[in-house]
Amino acid sequence: MNMTTPAAEMLTGWSQDHLITLAGGHLIHCKMQMAWQQLQQAAAADDIELKIVSAFRSFQRQAAIWQAKCEGSRPVYNLAQQQVPISSLSGLAKLEAIMLYSAIPGASRHHWGTELDIYDAAAVPKNYQPQLIPNEYQDAGPFAKLSQWLNSEASKYGFFRPYQFYRGGVAAEPWHLSYAPIANSCMRALSLDTLHQCLLQHPIAEQQTVLANLKQLYQCYVINICEDT
Ligand SMILES: [Zn+2]
């Protein structure tokens, strides 16, 4: 597969042909719309108002986030939610710090349109800004009920959480929902070579370190997920 095929462009955030726009303005995969509506309706029946914080993200958007974190103009957090002094890091350690919460451009699952960062609007005041931090989704957090609900209900509609638990790569992201019927085939199609070709064509911040460690980063952060069960 190379970058001239639509599939590679879709996988790496360079195509939007597969997307539709929801009423709230978020872009999702057109073949996920029905399942998402069904999940929302089922949640509503249990007094949960599913809302999207983030859905599709383009390569350019991910590259802007990536660059801002590399430059230190956007905060980078560790597993304890403490800010990392990114300017004191270099090489692979710097990439690993960033990749705890941010994917390499071209390798974000959000490129596919099958991924949603969600919260429960019924559990918080109208003006609440979801921070997408673990505390919100655990124990006494406002979205603990949503987390519990997803444990038993999400799979009935084809959804799972690839970052439900920390596996040594991406941090636990209980808010990140994935539509398995499409996302699983996207992950199989996103080969190391596809990602490599994409980055050669579209260089990013810390390009040399990324390319020098790409195989390891791919194994630890891209394909190292909590499988759909
Ligand atoms: Zn996400």
Tell me the pLDDT tens digit for each residue of 25-58. Answer: 999 999 999 999 999 999 999 999 999 999 999 9
Of 206, 204, 209, nearest in space to 64 by CA: 204
Number of neighbouring beta carbons within 10 Å of residue 20 = 15
177 CA to centre of ligand 1 in angstroms: 7
Position 2 scores a pLDDT of: 40
Q: Is residue 15 part of a domain?
A: yes
CA distance to 25, 93, 173, per residue, from 85 (Å): 34, 12, 22
Q: Determine contact, residues 106/13, Cβ cutoff 8 Å.
A: yes
Q: Is residue 228 part of a domain?
A: no
Could you give the count of Cα atoms lying within 13 Å of 145 in the half-sphere of its Cβ? Answer: 13
Number of domains present in the structure of the chain:
1
117 CA to centre of ligand 1 in angstroms: 5
Q: Is residue 33 part of a domain?
A: yes
CA distance to 4, 76, 88, 153, 158, per residue, from 105 (Å): 18, 16, 23, 31, 26
Position 5 scores a pLDDT of: 45
- Tokens encoding 12: 């790496």
Instruction: Give the residue-averaged pLDDT of 123-132.
Output: 96
pLDDT reading at 3 higher than 60? no
Q: Is residue 227 part of a domain?
A: no
Confidence of residue 135 (pLDDT cuts 50, 70, 90): very high
101 CA to centre of ligand 1 in angstroms: 9
Position 202 scores a pLDDT of: 98
Which pTM does this prediction carry? 0.94
Share of the chain above pLDDT 90, in %: 95
Identity of the residue numbered 49? E
Confidence of residue 160 (pLDDT cuts 50, 70, 90): very high
123 CA to centre of ligand 1 in angstroms: 20
DSSP code at position 76 = -
Q: Is residue 104 part of a domain?
A: yes
Mean pLDDT of the chain: 95
90 CA to centre of ligand 1 in angstroms: 25
CATH of the domain at 83: 3.30.1380.10
Q: Give residue 92's domain range.
A: 6-222
Q: Is residue 215 part of a domain?
A: yes
Position 229 scores a pLDDT of: 63
Residues linked to residue 115 through DSSP beta bridges, in sequence order: 178
Q: Determine contact, residues 99/217, Cβ cutoff 8 Å.
A: yes
Q: Is residue 26 part of a domain?
A: yes
44 CA to centre of ligand 1 in angstroms: 22
Position 228 scores a pLDDT of: 76
Q: Is residue 1 part of a domain?
A: no
Identity of the residue numbered 96? E
